[in-house]
Amino acid sequence: MKIIHCADIHLGSALTAHFNKEVADKRNNEVTLTFERLAEAARSQGVRAVIIAGDLFDQKSVKKSLIDTVLKAIAGAPDTDFLYLKGNHDKDTPFPPEDMPENLKVFGTDWTYFDYGDVTIAGVRLTKENCASVYGTLNLKAGRTNIVVMHGKLVRTSGKAPEDAVNILKLAGKNIDYLALGDYHAYQKDKLDGRGIYCYSGCLEGRGFDEFGEKGYVLLECKRGNISDEFVPFAKRSVIVLEADISGAGGQADIEKAIGTAVQGIGKENLVRVRLTGLLSPETYKGINYLTQKFADRFYYFGIKDETRVKIDYEACKDGVSLKSEFIRTVLADASLDEEQKEHIIAMGINALMGERYEL
Amino acid sequence: MIIKKCYIENFGVLSKRAFYFDSGLTEICEENGMGKSTLAVFIKAMLFGFDKNKRKDLDENERKKYKPWQKGNYGGYLDFEVKGKLYRIEKSFDDTEGDRVRLIDLASGGDTEDFDKDNLGASIFGIDEGGYEKSAYLSQRDPSCFKSDRLYTKLSDLLEEENDMGSYEDAMKLLEEAESPYKKRGGNDRITAIENEISQALSDLAAAEKHEELLSQAMPDKDALSKKLEVLEAEQKKANAEYAAAIEWEKYKRYKQAKDSYEAAIKDKSVAEATFNGKIPTSDELDDIERKLKVIDLEQSKHDEAKAELKEAQNKQNLLSAGETPEQKRIIELKELLFKEGLPAEGEIDEAIKAYRKSSDLKARLSEPLPPYKPDYKKLFLGSKVALSLAIVGVIVLIAGILIEILADRIAGKVVYAAGILSFAAGAYIVIAKYLKGKNEHSESHKKSVRGEYDIEEKKVRDFLARYGMTEKDPFEAIMQISKKLSEYVALSEKVSDEAKEAAEKIEELTLKIAEAENKIIGLKTEVSLYLRERGEEADDLYQAYKNLRDRLNIYEIRRGIEVAAKRNLENCEKPEREFEDTQQEYDTRELRQTLNKLSADIDETRKALIRLDNDIAYHTDYAAQKCYYKEKTETLKERLKKEKYYRWIVQKTKACLEKAKNNLAEKYIGEIRYAFGRYLSVVTGKKIEVLVNQELGYEIHEGGQYRDIKYFSRGYRDLFDICQRLALADALFKDEKPFLILDDPFKNLDDKKMQAANKLLAEIASKYQVIYFVCHTSRKLGLS
């Protein structure tokens, strides 16, 4: 029997923290489309159940059209059950509606169990009221294949865990074969106890540059009392963050070359950010806007984050007879400025003396 | 740096010239045009190359200006010493192949990279060509040429490092431009704009939250409405059931009523049907009867009419038989008057008219001239054999006579000739006489003939008229009258005859007609009477009987129609599912209907309210869904505001630091310049001079108890002061590696006294600098080298 574990889809996100409105809207639609693809994949592969371990939606208020889309996708795979656990983002979202499809099931604030052959899938939504007692009321038979669904960050404590945290210490020894978790947006798994593992499936699509890496779902195969898991990359696009050390670069051309090397081999369909690092002479013109535009056509989305530091040759300017040297000395001597501020002022001043505009 | 040797391959007017320089003062005195300035430019070119401009003005394009006219390598080399090490810079200027430059370590003999060979001057002194020109190279141009420059500009020119293109002013301008978006007034600056955007985003966020709140309020309302709808629908269901029962009862009633009506209708119809003795008339049959009755009436009318006509015809016939008609009377009259002897035969009047006309013609011909006599000439000439023979003989003899006259004897010929003529003439006479005779006969016979005819015709006319007693009148008039009367007589006779015939025919016809009508009438009456009787109508008045039958049929038809309608009604009536007792109480369907309607309206209203609420919820949801967007937008804008403020602060701070650095620099160098300046002024004046130098390198000299502008002093003094200033500048700027100084006849304006001061000055500077002093007049030679 096949079961899919996914989480943190965050349908209806704004995404404008990382992208402009146009890109954000397109990306949002892609996230929704990926969910639809997931439903279709579940149908075509004969998946028995899809576990959505929380945060299906990004916020409480969701457009009706989006809800309709989700319901339609679920209804389109009538032989697959969609087991939905609300997370911290969508706990107040009015979903599912009363007339939900038959194959959509919801985990409540008490343990809710669903049996499929010799597999039991149990899930519970953590609240302030149940976060302490919930671990004591979980009841799983040892002879079955047991999957537990929860949403929250992991803690290990013998005391009381925060209401939105999953205390894996208290879940050990509960006959759990697979703890399907949501909340953390990157794929991660580890041992739970002697019997089972816990796993964050991560999100289906990276929504910003803080969600880079492969995204997808976990495919579980339950066969004759055994359960195997496999991460399946499923995102339409990858969010990729690369570093390019441009220390010593003479100018824009060198930086362009460094970026070119860094992005070599990256597919066109991806969202790429290049972090420029290293120490640069203040005279070095980076041309960030130009370079961003130059590489923009190569990828679905391209951005540059300038994290370089200004290299100041303190020795050279100590006795230098020039306005530049004098300027540098003046800035360095100003005790009211911190190091970063000094770097920025010096870089701006030097570039100005060179006739160049300096952007932070 | 010390220049040791200078070798010029080809440069301007100089070709294959070597110059050697002392470490202190090297004086070169040569006439004008010998190449002193050229040497100075060569040295500068070795250190800094040529300016890459392509100006056409030679004074601004030294590369072009100093290109050798003769063939050969355009360039040379310079041997120099820096920090105890000997070097050679070799340069060859070539527009086609490109300049060739080598920097050689003279100790090793190989190329060296101790300095930038392409920009040696800047590499060694840290100044570019411009700075060099303004400091170490005192040309013949006005030494105070840069007096108007600002100090920091000069300093930046002098102090620019390699590749540093900017200046303080340009840098400040750039920073001002960077700051300008933050300084716009009227709230148009970038910070205010972002703050306004944040305000708007917060406002939008508040609106989205408000919508979320309204959404929260709307949901319980929706639940309440949904519950209300449930209750109403339950009531409706109950009311529907009751109503259904009521309907069923109504249905039963209606069905029963229809059934009763149908049975009654059958009975009524049967009663009506019974009156027809089993023979139910049809409407068509009755129409036929009616038609027959009308025919009877018609035939009767015709019969009566015919009878009247018959009587009339018979009367006429009687009259005719008695000869009493007007026409007959007239006929008799005419007969008496004209036609006692009988009527003119057919064509007789025409004959009479013809005879009259002919006699008239003949009469006229009698008085007309005779027609011309036209004989039959053939008969005339050929009819008389004698005449013809004579004529022929006469012609023959004539001809013979002519021949004889000609051929034989004239007299004989003439005689014959004459005989011939006589014969012919005799023949001709006969013909003529015949002709004349004929003509007379023609005339006589013509007259006779005409007269004869006339008499005949005249007699005809007279005889005709006499028969009718019309001899006195004009014959033609009389004939006409007779004709007219005859026509009248004939016409009348014909008319009378026709009338008699007509009367007879008519009588026959009418008699037949009357008989036919009577037969027809009898037949139809019998038919109709039988029909009516069979169907129960016994009446003498057939028409009345028909009417009665028609009425009965109508009644029957009506009742049959009622039966059919009742049957249809019964068939259309829905058969009730069940029977009801007669004691069943009436349902108040009206009230039930009203209740149902009210429930329906309430349900409808509630559903509409739900739809409206759903719409509101959707509306609020759509707006509330924007909450995270506005929240993120607000955060992003706040971040941006922070960055923009930081950027503005950095720009302002950079400006402040740059200005401070500029002032520091100026202050630093002004002090040094002032000191050096004062020292050099003391050398040239022989006394201690206080000088005030401002940041623009303008200066005032303390003289006569106060600081005076340079313009107060003479030209000679001003030149000296400017040279001191530049030397002071060089002192201030070149601390590490002292440059050599090239003085290209800078003292040409000085008088003898000042020249002595210049000497002292040169001695002073020669102790610190390598000085290359060009002069073109011996009066300005120093004799110090």
- Over range B204-224, report the average pLDDT: 89
Of A58, A283, A360, the CB nearest to B628: A58
Percent of chain B at pLDDT above 90?
35
Percent of chain A at pLDDT above 70?
98
Partners of B17 in beta bridges: B8
- Over range B67-78, report the average pLDDT: 88
Q: Is B471 helix (H, G, I), strand (E, B) or coil?
A: coil
Summarize pLDDT for B328-365 with one digit per residue, the tens.
Answer: 999 999 888 888 888 888 888 899 899 999 999 988 88
Greater model confidence, B55 or A70: A70
The answer, yes or no, to whether ipTM is higher than 0.85 is: no
Q: Do A355 and B215 touch (CB under 8 A)?
A: no
Give A59's pLDDT tier (boundaries 50, 70, 90). confident
What pLDDT is attached to residue B426? 87
Q: Do A354 and B661 touch (CB under 8 A)?
A: no
Residue A194, pLDDT > 80, answer yes
The whole-angstrom separation of Cα A58 and Cα B557 is 83
**Both tokens of residue B55?**
């100006």
Residue B166, pLDDT > 50, answer no
Partners of B100 in beta bridges: B92
What pLDDT is attached to residue B148? 33
What pLDDT is attached to residue B127? 66
Omega cis (within 30) before A96: yes
The whole-angstrom separation of Cα B60 and Cα B228 is 99
What pLDDT is attached to residue A262? 94
CB pairs under 8 A between A and B: 130
Summarize pLDDT for A230-253 with one digit per residue, the tens.
Answer: 999 999 999 999 999 999 888 888
Summarize pLDDT for A307-320 with one digit per residue, the tens.
Answer: 888 877 666 666 66
Kindly list the distances between the CA atom of residue A342 and the CA atoms of A179, A282, A328, A350, B271, in Å, as whole numbers in the listed order. 51, 11, 9, 12, 127
What pLDDT is attached to residue B216? 85
Q: Which residue of A has its CA nearest to B125?
A: A321
Residue B719, pLDDT > 90, answer no
Contacts of B385 (CB under 8 A, 6+ apart): none
Summarize pLDDT for B124-140 with one digit per residue, the tens.
Answer: 876 666 667 766 776 65
What pLDDT is attached to residue B785? 39
Greater model confidence, B236 or A353: B236
Give B161's pLDDT tier (boundaries 50, 70, 90). very low
| Interface membership of A60 toward B (CB under 8 Å) | yes
Give B72's pLDDT tier (boundaries 50, 70, 90). confident
Residues in chain B closer than 8 A to A330 (CB atoms): 657, 660-661, 664
Give B158's pLDDT tier (boundaries 50, 70, 90). very low
Range picked from A24-38, B212-226, B235-249, B448-462 for highest mean pLDDT: A24-38
What pLDDT is attached to residue B149? 39
Residue B776, pLDDT > 50, answer yes
Of A14, A64, A357, the CB nearest to B178: A357
What pLDDT is attached to residue A281? 79
Q: Do B126 and A352 touch (CB under 8 A)?
A: no
- Compute the nearest-CA separation of A101 from chain B (Å): 20
Of A12, A16, A323, the CB nearest to B625: A12
Of B164, B643, B658, the CB nearest to A360: B643
- Over range B652-677, report the average pLDDT: 83
Q: Which of B105, B90, B110, B88 is nearest to B49 (CA)?
A: B90
What pLDDT is attached to residue A317? 64
Least-confidence region, from A101-110, B62-71, B290-299, B377-386: B377-386
- Over range B26-36, report the average pLDDT: 79
What pLDDT is attached to residue B143? 47
What pLDDT is attached to residue B152? 43
What pLDDT is attached to residue B579? 80
Summarize pLDDT for B604-645 with one digit per residue, the tens.
Answer: 999 999 999 888 888 888 888 888 888 888 998 999 999 999
What pLDDT is attached to residue B5? 93
Contacts of B112 (CB under 8 A, 6+ apart): B87, B103, B104, B105
The DSSP code for A244 is: E
Greater model confidence, B233 or B538: B233
Strands (E), B525-615: none
Residue B677, pLDDT > 90, answer no
Of A60, A337, A344, the CB nearest to B212: A60
What architecture (CATH level 2) is domain A2-233?
4-Layer Sandwich (3.60)
What pLDDT is attached to residue B162? 39
Residue B141, pLDDT > 60, answer no
Q: What is the DSSP string of B406-463?
A: HHS-HHHHHHHHHHHHHHHHHHHHHHHHHHHHHHHHHHHHHHHHHHHHHHHHHHHHHH
- Whether A143 and A161 have beta carbons less than 8 Å apart is answered as no
Compute the Cα dihedral for B731, B736, B740, B742 and give only its sign: negative
- Whether A248 and A235 have beta carbons less than 8 Å apart is answered as no
Q: Do B164 and A354 touch (CB under 8 A)?
A: yes
Of A321, A344, A357, the CB nearest to B126: A321
- Compute the nearest-CA separation of B623 from chain A (Å): 8
Summarize pLDDT for B522-579 with one digit per residue, the tens.
Answer: 999 999 999 999 999 987 899 999 999 999 999 999 999 999 999 999 998 888 888 8
Q: Which residue of B has its CA nearest to A61?
A: B625
| Interface membership of B345 toward A (CB under 8 Å) | no
- Which phi and psi angles does A305 have, rounded to 5°? -115, 120
What pLDDT is attached to residue A31? 94
Residues in chain B closer than 8 A to A14 (CB atoms): 628-629, 631-633
Residue B146, pLDDT > 50, answer no
Q: Match 């040759």 to its residue by tokens.
A: A313
Residue B446, pLDDT > 90, answer no
What pLDDT is attached to residue B87? 94
Which residues of chain B from 349 to 368 reach within 8 Å of chain A, CB to CB? Answer: none
| Interface membership of B759 toward A (CB under 8 Å) | no
Q: What is the DSSP string of B196-248?
A: HHHHHHHHHHHHHHHHHHHHHHHHHHHHHHHHHHHHHHHHHHHHHHHHHHHHH
What pLDDT is attached to residue B269? 94
Least-confidence region, from A35-44, B110-119, B695-704: B695-704
Greater model confidence, B736 or B220: B220
Domain boundaries, chain A: 2-233, 239-353
What pLDDT is attached to residue B131? 65
> What average pLDDT does the structure give for chain B?
85
